[in-house]
Amino acid sequence: MAFHYFFAHRLHGKRGSVRHASVALATLFAATALVLSGCGSRTSQTGIGASPSSSPNTSASATPMKGGTLTVLTSQSSLSLDPATSQSLPTTTTGLVHRRLTTWKISHGKTTVVPDLATTTGTPSDHGAVWTFHLKKGLRFSNGKPITSQDVKWGIERSFSDTFTGGLSYHKQLLAGAANYHGPFSGQQLNSIETPNDSTIIFHLNSPFGAWPWVASLISFAPVPRGDGTQKSYGNHPVTSGPYQVQSNSPGRELVLTRNPYWKASTDSVRKAYPNRIVYRMGQDDTVAAQQIMQGVNGGDTSILGEFVPPAQLAQAQANPQYSQLLVTSGDGALEYIAINTRHIRNLAVRQAILWATDRAGYRTAAGGAIAGNYATTLITPGIAGRQKYDLYHVPTGGDPARARAILKRAHVTVPTLKMVIQQNKTEQASAIQSSLKKAGINVRIQVLDSGVYSDTVTNNQGNYDLTIASWQPDFPDAYANLAPLFSSSMIGNGNQNMSRYSNRAVDALMTQATQTVDQKAAGKLWAQADQRIMHDIPVVPLIYSHNTFIHGSRVAGFDIGNFPAYPDYLTMGLTRD
C-alpha cells in the first residue's frame, strides 16, 4: 500500500506499510491517556541496484515564481480536508488551506515553532498549566468573515465529537475537564478553553506541559466558523484560512485548490503561495505517474508524485543523469529499530548479545542500500531540538557475533529460539537480522503477519512475541513525542506503542520532569538524559534513521526537505517560468 506523504502522514513500520493506528499514551504526569501517532519511513526500495552516497539531496534548487498550476499525482481515491479527522503535517496539504495558532518554520538547521494565527507561540502561566494566545489583526476566512478566537475554540471542540474519528488527539487529554466531553453540537462548551474576547484564547491544562506551542501547531487547532462543520462531508469543501480554498473536490477524480482572496501574506511568515492553482489528480498508478514525471509528458514537468518513488522507477532514475536530477532524498528521518520484548527477555545479557550480534549493514542492504538511511545509535531522531549525538556501545555496523557469544557464555545463558513477528514488507530485513543473530548462536523464528493482525499482536496486552521490527518518527519535533510513546510504562498494551514492554520507574520520573519543564532548553537536556538511560537497559536495537526519496517534474521548484520532517515542504513549492 502506497504512502501518501502529502496528506496522511502517520506511518508505523517502513516502506509501503501505512498504519493509521490511534496510540493512547497515558500522560506521564496524570492518569489520563494522551493519543500519539508517529510517522515512519518510505515505500519499499528493496532490490535497488546502485546505492548512492549517504549524503542526501534535500532540495530542488530552482527559485519558484508566482503563477501556474502545480499538479499532485496520487493513487488515493478521496481527499478530505477536515481538521477534526486529518493527521496531516502542518507543512503538507492541509497547511495550504488551514492555518493554526502556531506553525513550523522548516530549515536545514532545525525546525522551529513560530506564530501563525497568533501573535506569539503562546504565553505560559501557572508553571505551564495555562497558555494564552492573542490573534493577529485582519485575519479572514475564505468566505470573507473575520477569524475570531471563538472560531478556533469551535474548531477544537468539534474534534471531540463522536461524529469524527481518526484525527490527532494530543489536546483531548491535555485539556482540563475534557475526559467526558463529546463536542459542541449539543450546545455544550469545553470550559478549559476560554475566549474572553474575539482575539484572545486561553487554554487550561490538566498539568504543566512545556511543549504546548507544538500541540497548537497541529491540524486540530485550525479555525472553523462557529456553527459550521456539523456534517461528515465538511472536509470536502471546508471554509479555509490559508492561502488556498477548495474550488472543487470530486472523489476518485480531482481536487482543485485556488487562491483564497482573503488571505494576507503580511500575516503569514511561512506560506509562500506560489502557484495560482494546485490540482490533485486521484486514482493514479504511481509507476505510470513516476514515468510521466520523468519523461515530462502529459503535464509531468509541472507535477509531483504524491507517493514515495516506486522501486523500479527509483532505480531507473538513479541510472539516468537527466532523471536523477528530479529525485530528492531526505536526510535522517524515522528511527527503524528492533524492539526486544523485555517481559520475555528479562536478562540484560541476552539483550546485550542481541545488540552486539545485529548486522545493521546487512539490514540496510536489505532495505535498499545507502539510500535507505544512516546508521542509528540514539533514540531521539536527528532534527529534534535537544538531541545529543552519542554511541553508547560502539558496535560495528556489521555486528560482532564473537562478542555476543562471549557475553552469553559469561552469563551462563542458553537462549531459546526467539519469535520475531513482522509485516510482509519486512521479510528481507528480518532475514538479515535472523542470519546475523544465528552467527552468535541465537536462533530466530520469523512469523509474517498481515497488517491488522500484526498491529494487534504488538500492541495488545498479551505481547506474544520476543522481537519485532518497528519504525517511529514523531508528529512534531519534540523529544517528548520521540521517547514517551515508545518507552513510557503507561504505553504498554491497550493499543499503545511500547512494543518493548519496557518499564523503568526512574525513566518514567525523568520523562515526567522533562514533560513539565517549560524551558525547552532545560527540557531537552532531560530528554537527552532519558535517551541514554533507556539505552543502558537495551529495550531496542537502533538500526537506521530512514531516508525518503521523492520525485518532481523538471519545472517544479522549491521542492525542499528540511531537517524535520523527512517530507517536502508544500508551503514553499512552486514552478519555474516556461
- Residue-wise burial string across 203-224, b where 16 or more C-beta atoms lie within 10 A, e elsewhere: bbbbbbbbbbbbbbbbbbbbbb
Q: What pLDDT was estimated at residue 51?
A: 36
Per-residue pLDDT, 21: 30
Residue 46: how many other CB atoms lie within 10 Å: 17
For the stretch 569-572, contacts whose Cβ atoms lie closer than 8 Å and that sit 24 or more positions apart, written own/partner, are 569/91, 569/106, 570/6, 570/91, 570/92, 570/93, 570/95, 570/96, 571/91, 571/95, 571/96, 571/270, 571/271, 571/272, 572/64, 572/106, 572/272, 572/274
| Section 6-33 average pLDDT | 35
Report percent pLDDT > 70 for the chain.
Answer: 90
pLDDT of residue 166: 85
pLDDT at site 468? 98
What is the pLDDT averaged over residues 263-272? 97
Label the pairing between strands 23-26 and 33-36: antiparallel
- The runs of H, that is alpha helices, within 234-296 are 286-295
Which position has the higher pLDDT, 173 or 471? Answer: 471
pLDDT at 14: 34
Q: From the centroid of its chain, how far is CA 539?
A: 22
Pairing of strands 556-557, 574-575: antiparallel
| Chain Cα centroid distance, residue 576 | 29
In this prediction, residue 18 has a pLDDT band, given cuts at 50, 70 and 90, of very low
pLDDT band at 23; cut points 50, 70, 90: very low
**The pLDDT of residue 333:** 94
Residue 374: its H or E element:
strand 373-375
Distance of CA 377 to the CA centre of its chain: 20
pLDDT category at 55 given cuts 50, 70, 90 is: low
268-283 pLDDT, tens digit per residue, is: 999 999 999 999 999 9
Amino acid 119: pLDDT:
98
Separation CA 439–CA 575 (nearest Å)? 53
Give the three-class secondary structure for 285. Answer: coil
**20 has pLDDT over 90:** no
Closest by Cα among 446, 450, 425 to 372: 425
Q: Is the pLDDT of residue 531 over 90?
A: yes
What does the pLDDT look like over 435-451, one tens digit per residue?
999 999 999 999 999 98
Please say if the pLDDT value at position 59 is more than 80.
no
On the question of pLDDT at 26 being above 70, the answer is no
What distances in angstroms separate CA 79 from CA 74, 131, 281, 309, 434, one per listed residue?
10, 33, 10, 20, 40
Bridge partners for 102 per DSSP: 115
| Whole-number pLDDT of residue 169 | 85
How much of the chain exceeds pLDDT 90, in percent?
83
Instruction: Give the chain's length.
Output: 578
Q: What is the mean pLDDT of the chain?
A: 90
- This prediction has a pTM of 0.88
Question: Is pLDDT above 80 for 81?
Answer: yes
Query: Is pLDDT at 6 greater than 80 in this prediction?
Result: no
pLDDT tens string 145-181: 999 999 999 999 999 999 998 888 889 979 999 999 9
Residue 297 confidence (pLDDT):
96
Lookup: cell for 40: 515512519
pLDDT for 39 equals: 55
Percent helix, strand, coil in the chain, to 5, is 30, 20, 50
- Alpha helices, DSSP H only, in 329-478? 348-357, 360-366, 401-410, 427-438, 451-459
**pLDDT of amino acid 193:** 98
127-144 per-residue burial string, b: 16 or more CB within 10 A, e: under 16: ebbbbbbbbbeebbbbee
> Grid cell 471554509 — which residue?
239
* pLDDT higher than threshold 60 for residue 24: no
pLDDT in tens, 183-207: 999 999 999 999 999 999 999 999 9
Question: Is a pLDDT exceeding 60 seen at residue 324?
Answer: yes
pLDDT at 356 over 90: yes
Domains and CATH numbers, the chain: 335-546 (3.10.105.10)
Q: What pLDDT band is residue 38 in, cutting at 50, 70 and 90?
A: low
